[in-house]
Chain A
Amino acid sequence: MLTCRTVWRKLAPLGRASATACRQNVRRAGLNNARTPLCVPVAHMSTGPAGGGGDNLKYALLVGAAFAGGLTYAVLTLRGDQDRYLERMADISSRRQISTVKQPATQTLTEPPAAGAAETAAPPEPKPEAPPSPEEPSPPAEVAGAEAATSSEAAPAADAKPASPTLPSHAPYLLIGGGTASFAAARSIRARDPGAKVLIVTDEPNLPYMRPPLSKELWFSDDPSVTETLRFKQWNGKERSIYFQPASFYIDAEDLKSAENGGVAVLTNRKVVHMDVRGNKVKLDDDTEISYDKCLIATGGIPRNLQVIERAGEEVMKRTTLFRKIEDFKSLDKVSRSMQSITIIGGGFLGSELACALGRRSTETGLEVIQMFPEKGNMGKVLPEYLSNWTTEKVKKEGVKIISEALVKSVSYKDDKLEIKLKDGRLVKTDHIVAAVGLEPNVDLAKSAGLEVDSDFGGYRVNAELQARSNIWVAGDAACFYDIRLGRRRVEHHDHAVVSGRLAGENMTGASKPYWHQSMFWSDLGPDVGYEAIGIVDSSLPTVGVFAKATAKDTPKAATEESGTGIRSESETEDTASSAVAPAAPAPAVENKDEYGKGVIFYLRDKVVVGIILWNVFNRMPVARKIIKDGEEHADLNEVAKLFNIHED
């Protein structure tokens, strides 16, 4: 931009000089025509240039020639286009003729030819009875032509269809992104708007699937083909796929327009690159344009990477996994079977879960699993220090080598190993790195769509009803929304994606509900440590923890077995009254010398409870949700803790 300006400044005086020179030359009226260069502007001026003489003539000739040339070109192009159009039409109609001429030809071989009857019968008929059973005998060519033309209308014009599938040019409900939030919205829309036509566009090759098993259940499967089937056995013994629905649930994108009862179609491997909010349409990476009535942006995010790794070169990048998608799971699974040492950088949910999963595998294969993070203990940003330390000990028991208070200074590839140098001088040698250092929300469309991006939390800024602009909603990891109770935030958990997706779907079909039902999240660190949480759970807040001693029955495994559900948040929707469940196998007596067996931890902000963790205490989330919803100041949190009956199962 600046260079343009400097160039312009330099050229401007030149321009001025040449212009004055021109004017002077013109006024000299034909004296030195040969010397003066023609410095007339190319643009046609409504008034002719001042002055007269030879220059004028040259100017006129030049303009005339240009005009004539342009006109000739235009005429030729148009004529060529018309020729091509006629040719194409002829081509199409001749193709139809060929296919249908074959039909009557084969069928009329047996029929007695009655040329006279054919001539009288064929012309007045606008349409034959049915193409497969024409009564006409083998007709002469022209009748065949007429018949072909009419019967081709009846016959499905399979041959006239273009080779590539026709994508819908309009979708009443367009969902950008094919993850959990998008699927939840699709389901919500279909439930509320009968016959709704929903189009999901995703840049992944997969149909919508759930993410939590990728770092938990799938690793505990005994099935060697789990990377292909992507099925996992839930604690209650029931098996299911990570895909929300099998392929038969969805309809083809081409059929969306004509589907009588509507449906959900998924366009995979397509990225939305441009959004035109004024025109209510989007453009895909293959230049297809799709217009919409209502649009949801549920683009999620991409895993962050450490700068030191990005700068470390290709050999290091090749041996680094940023874990998020199915393909990452597949490749990490392969790596874990072939490598001897894996290092996980990051001590949050994903990092700790993967560490436990790989640690479990290490007992079979002798794999070395290292986890390093800047905090003092696992989940250091979530759990209060005493609990974080306790959890770290548990993770170590799963076979993980923990390096805490570790800041990575540099990573290099040497002697077929990765060398991680820490700021305090420690050196770690490993074969493969998994970076679990956060998620960067995907706001690629913000610029073209003119949508606001939040500077504090990242993501698209939306209101309490998840709306960004008139017909645009955002849900899931990418939404920075206003939570009436807890303030503006952005949440990266599975249940939030479901809740916000559902809410967005409801609002897209006419409801005007704000984000009110608080989503929860959970994590399991091995079979003995599990917790559910809700609200703002930030270790920098003051906390009050109320604990009881745990018995063998207080483990995540027992909890899900009892309620007969597979995924933790599901047990919320299904009353645990149902006793038709596999009887819990008597678990071996667990010796819990630790003090923090089970309990409730309250997170306070200005004396109000804004977050709650249920520590090895399950199926009490509704109570926790209620306390946060009330937003009251409670004088004695022990009294509040009584509501949870932590001593009971």
Chain B
Amino acid sequence: MSYCKQEGKDRIIFVTKEDHETPSNAELVADDPDDPYEEQGLILPSGEINWNCPCLGGMASGPCGSQFKEAFSCFHYSKEEVKGSECIEQFRGMQECMQKYPDLYPQEEDKGSSSQAESGSAAAADGSASLSENDSAAEASPGSPDSVSLADNQAAS
């Protein structure tokens, strides 16, 4: 049984679980997925990679940013049967760069770079940035979780 009280200008409503079981009739405005103002997910409406996605953490902006971008772009646009199989060189370059900065990219990196490729494939397959997967890979590098900005993953939601 819900009840209500008023304290001056403030109204207080107490609700039980049952009260909230019926679906809401509040109307929300439909979202435009291509709204340029909105924060974009990993893949932009044009199909390009959004390097500024918070989900990438600092990967695209750090000292190895350009290598990361090359490797990931190659992977993203790869049309091979085994996606990214022609990108070995770029991934190796990225790995070499990351080894030079062990405190930015800690050295469980052999797992890190390959799992990133896997997560990248999952993301591409879903056609959206599955943030959790990206982040479980990105968590190997402590650079990423420091980004405390928000991204409503429009693509995923």
Q: Which residues of A contact B (CB under 8 A)?
A: 184, 186-192, 194-195, 210, 238, 240, 244-246, 248-249, 251, 261, 263-264, 384-386, 494-495, 498-499, 502, 505-506, 513-514, 516-517, 519-520, 542-548, 565-567, 569-570, 572-578, 580, 595, 621-622, 625-627, 629-630, 632, 634, 636-643, 645-647
Nearest to A572 among chain B residues (CB) is: B150
B121 within 8 A of A: no
Known: A641-B15, A642-B20. 5 other contacts (CB 8 A): A495-B148, A544-B10, A569-B148, A570-B148, A643-B26
Residues in B with CB closer than 8 Å to A641 are 13, 15, 20
Q: Is there an interface contact between A261 and B66, defined as CB atoms closer than 8 Å? A: yes
Complex Cα–Cα for A248 and B147 (A):
17
Contact string against A for B residues 2-16, beta-carbon threshold 8 Å, 1 for contact and 0 otherwise: 100001111111111
Contact string against A for B residues 110-152, beta-carbon threshold 8 Å, 1 for contact and 0 otherwise: 0000000000000000000011110110000011011111111
Q: Which of B38, B104, B146: most chain A Cβ within 10 A? A: B146
Min distance, Cβ B140 to any Cβ of chain A, angstroms: 12
Looking at the complex, which one of A566, A573, A595, A645 makes contact with B149 (CB distance below 8 Å)?
A573
B107 within 8 A of A: no
With A513-B37, A516-B37, A566-B145 already in contact, the answer to whether A639 and B9 are too (CB < 8 A) is: no
Min distance, Cβ B129 to any Cβ of chain A, angstroms: 10
CB within 8 Å of A: which of B79-130? 101, 103-104, 130
Complex Cα–Cα for A195 and B51 (A):
13
Q: Is there an interface contact between B13 and A544, defined as CB atoms closer than 8 Å? A: yes
With A502-B149, A517-B39, A639-B24 already in contact, the answer to whether A544 and B61 are too (CB < 8 A) is: no
Name 6 interchain pairs, CB-CB below 8 A, sorted by A.
A248-B104, A506-B52, A546-B13, A574-B55, A574-B132, A636-B25
Looking at the complex, which one of B12, B51, B135, B151 makes contact with A547 (CB distance below 8 Å)?
B12
Complex Cα–Cα for A516 and B35 (A):
11
Residues in B with CB closer than 8 Å to A248 are 63, 101, 103-104
Min distance, Cβ A521 to any Cβ of chain B, angstroms: 11
Nearest to A189 among chain B residues (CB) is: B61
Q: Is there an interface contact between A190 and B65, defined as CB atoms closer than 8 Å? A: yes
Q: Is there an interface contact between B25 and A570, defined as CB atoms closer than 8 Å? A: no
B1 within 8 A of A: no
Q: Is there an interface contact between A545 and B10, defined as CB atoms closer than 8 Å? A: yes
Q: Is there an interface contact between B7 and A386, defined as CB atoms closer than 8 Å? A: yes
With A187-B147, A569-B149 already in contact, the answer to whether A386 and B66 are too (CB < 8 A) is: no
Min distance, Cβ A639 to any Cβ of chain B, angstroms: 4
The SS class assigned to the B binding surface is loop
Complex Cα–Cα for A569 and B54 (A):
12
Complex Cα–Cα for A210 and B10 (A):
35
Complex Cα–Cα for A276 and B23 (A):
59
B74 within 8 A of A: no
Complex Cα–Cα for A207 and B12 (A):
46
Residues in B with CB closer than 8 Å to A578 are 132-133, 135-136
* Smallest CB-CB A-B distances: 6 pairs: A190-B61, A642-B24, A578-B132, A516-B37, A498-B149, A191-B51
Nearest to B22 among chain A residues (CB) is: A642
Q: Is there an interface contact between B37 and A519, defined as CB atoms closer than 8 Å? A: no
Complex Cα–Cα for A572 and B150 (A):
6
Q: Is there an interface contact between B135 and A516, defined as CB atoms closer than 8 Å? A: no
B45 within 8 A of A: no
Q: Tell me the number of A-to-B contacts counted with CB atoms below 8 Å.
A: 198
Residues in A with CB closer than 8 Å to B20 are 548, 641-642, 645-647
Nearest to B56 among chain A residues (CB) is: A191
Residues in B with CB closer than 8 Å to A187 are 58, 61, 147
B47 within 8 A of A: no
Q: Is there an interface contact between A190 and B24, defined as CB atoms closer than 8 Å? A: no
B33 within 8 A of A: no
Q: Which of B10, B23, B28, B145: most chain A Cβ within 10 A? A: B10
With A575-B131, A641-B20 already in contact, the answer to whether A547 and B148 are too (CB < 8 A) is: no
Residues in A with CB closer than 8 Å to B131 are 573-575
Q: Is there an interface contact between A385 and B13, defined as CB atoms closer than 8 Å? A: no
Looking at the complex, which one of B26, B38, B54, B143 makes contact with A573 (CB distance below 8 Å)?
B54
Complex Cα–Cα for A626 and B145 (A):
25
Residues in B with CB closer than 8 Å to A519 are 150
Complex Cα–Cα for A543 and B150 (A):
26
Q: Is there an interface contact between B152 and A622, defined as CB atoms closer than 8 Å? A: yes
Q: Is there an interface contact between B10 and A543, defined as CB atoms closer than 8 Å? A: yes
With A248-B104, A251-B63 already in contact, the answer to whether A574 and B10 are too (CB < 8 A) is: no
Nearest to B146 among chain A residues (CB) is: A244
With A251-B63, A261-B66, A573-B131 already in contact, the answer to whether A567 and B148 are too (CB < 8 A) is: yes
Min distance, Cβ B44 to any Cβ of chain A, angstroms: 12
Q: Is there an interface contact between B150 and A640, defined as CB atoms closer than 8 Å? A: no
Q: Is there an interface contact between A639 and B25, defined as CB atoms closer than 8 Å? A: yes
Residues in A with CB closer than 8 Å to B157 are 622
Looking at the complex, which one of A261, A573, A632 makes contact with B55 (CB distance below 8 Å)?
A573
Min distance, Cβ B136 to any Cβ of chain A, angstroms: 6
Looking at the complex, which one of A190, A495, A514, A576 makes contact with B150 (CB distance below 8 Å)?
A495
Q: Is there an interface contact between A640 and B146, defined as CB atoms closer than 8 Å? A: no
Min distance, Cβ B27 to any Cβ of chain A, angstroms: 7
With A248-B103, A494-B148, A572-B151 already in contact, the answer to whether A194 and B12 are too (CB < 8 A) is: no
Nearest to B152 among chain A residues (CB) is: A622
Nearest to A575 among chain B residues (CB) is: B132
Residues in A with CB closer than 8 Å to B13 are 544-547, 637-638, 641
Complex Cα–Cα for A513 and B132 (A):
27
Q: Is there an interface contact between B7 and A385, defined as CB atoms closer than 8 Å? A: yes
Complex Cα–Cα for A622 and B62 (A):
28
Residues in A with CB closer than 8 Å to B8 are 385
Complex Cα–Cα for A546 and B147 (A):
32
Residues in B with CB closer than 8 Å to A264 are 61
Complex Cα–Cα for A572 and B135 (A):
12
Q: Is there an interface contact between B104 and A245, defined as CB atoms closer than 8 Å? A: yes
Q: Is there an interface contact between A186 and B29, defined as CB atoms closer than 8 Å? A: no
Nearest to B153 among chain A residues (CB) is: A575
Complex Cα–Cα for A576 and B132 (A):
7
With A249-B62, A630-B29, A634-B26 already in contact, the answer to whether A545 and B11 are too (CB < 8 A) is: yes
Min distance, Cβ A472 to any Cβ of chain B, angstroms: 21
Complex Cα–Cα for A544 and B136 (A):
39
Looking at the complex, which one of B31, B55, B104 makes contact with A249 (CB distance below 8 Å)?
B104
Complex Cα–Cα for A186 and B8 (A):
47
Min distance, Cβ B17 to any Cβ of chain A, angstroms: 4
B60 within 8 A of A: yes
Q: Is there an interface contact between A640 and B10, defined as CB atoms closer than 8 Å? A: no
Residues in A with CB closer than 8 Å to B63 are 248-249, 251, 261, 263
Complex Cα–Cα for A519 and B15 (A):
28
Complex Cα–Cα for A188 and B56 (A):
11
Complex Cα–Cα for A626 and B11 (A):
22
With A502-B52, A625-B152 already in contact, the answer to whether A547 and B15 are too (CB < 8 A) is: yes
Q: Is there an interface contact between B148 and A498, defined as CB atoms closer than 8 Å? A: yes
Residues in B with CB closer than 8 Å to A384 are 7, 10
Q: Which of A546, A565, A621: most chain B Cβ within 10 A? A: A546
Residues in A with CB closer than 8 Å to B66 are 194-195, 261
Complex Cα–Cα for A625 and B67 (A):
35
Min distance, Cβ B93 to any Cβ of chain A, angstroms: 12
Min distance, Cβ B98 to any Cβ of chain A, angstroms: 11
